[in-house]
Amino acid sequence: MKTFLEIRNINKSFHPDKEVEVQALRDINLEIAAGDFAVLSGPSGSGKTTLLNIIGCLDNCTSGEVSLVGQRLTGLPEKKLSLIRRNQIGFVFQAYNLIPVLTAQENIEYIMRLQGRSPQECGERCLEVARKLGIETLLSKLPNQLSGGQQQRVAVARAVAATPKLILADEPTANLDSKTAADLMDMMERLNRDEGVTIIFSSHDPQVIDKARHSIVLKDGAVISDETLH
C-alpha cells in the first residue's frame, strides 16, 4: 500500500527552564498508508499530543522530518504550512474548539469558507456531512446549546467537510460518556471508509483503541509497538 505520511527520525525537546531539557519525542519513525485508521496510544506524557501537533504542522520538531504525500513539511515557511493545514489537514480537538458565536452550520462551513468555496457549495457539503453524523437537526444551534457529544460531532463534521487528506483527532472521546464515545468512533470509521480520508487519533481508552486498524504505542516519547491489527 502506498505510503501517505512518512515520519523519519523525529526528535522533540523542550526547555521549561535553562537548566533542564525534556525529551518529548525520541527517534520516531513511522509510515502511515493512505486511507489508514490509526491510533496513537500510551500513558499520559508519552508524547501522543506532541507527535500529532508535529504531524499537523502546529509545532516544529527539534530534528527529523515529516513528509505528506511525498511533500516534505519540515522546514517549510509558515505561510505554506498554513495553506497545508487549511487545505489538507483536519483537526478534532479534545476541547472541541468550536467558535461560540457561530451556529453549528457556520462552524462546519468555516474552513470551507476560508478555502474560497461558494455559499451554495458550503451549504450542500455541510448538510451532506451533517446527515452522516446525525446532526442535521442541530445546525441552527449555538455550541452552548449542544451537549458535549453533539459539540464533538460538529467538530468532526467541520474537520471532514473541508475534504482534507488527513484528519488528526487528539483524544476525541475523552470528554464523552462510553455510549457517545462508541457512537462517535463508529461514525469516524464510516467517514474513513466512505470519504477515504486518512485518520490518526490518540486515545488511552481500550474500547476506542480496539476500533483502529493500525496501532502505534508510545512510551516515554518512543515508539514501543507499531502493528497493523486488521
Give pLDDT tens digits for 115-154: 999 999 999 999 999 998 889 999 999 999 999 889 988 9
Q: Cell numbers 504505542 correspond to what residue? A: 217
Q: How many domains does the chain have?
A: 1
Q: Domain span at residue 55?
A: 3-100+165-228
Judge whether 5 and 31 are in contact, CB under 8 Å: yes
16 falls within a domain: yes
CATH of the domain at 91: 3.40.50.300
67 falls within a domain: yes
39 falls within a domain: yes
37 falls within a domain: yes
Strand partners, 90: 167
HSE-up of 143 (CA within 13 Å, CB side)? 18
24 falls within a domain: yes
pLDDT the model gives residue 180? 81
pLDDT the model gives residue 59? 92
Report the C-alpha gap between 213 and 209 in whole angstroms. 9
198 falls within a domain: yes
pLDDT-derived band at 24 (thresholds 50, 70, 90) equals very high
Give pLDDT tens digits for 162-207: 989 999 999 988 878 888 888 888 888 888 888 889 999 999 888 8
pLDDT the model gives residue 230? 67
pLDDT the model gives residue 1? 58
199 falls within a domain: yes
Query: How does DSSP assign 95-142, residue by residue?
Result: T----TTS-HHHHHHHHHHHTT--HHHHHHHHHHHHHHHT-GGGTTS-
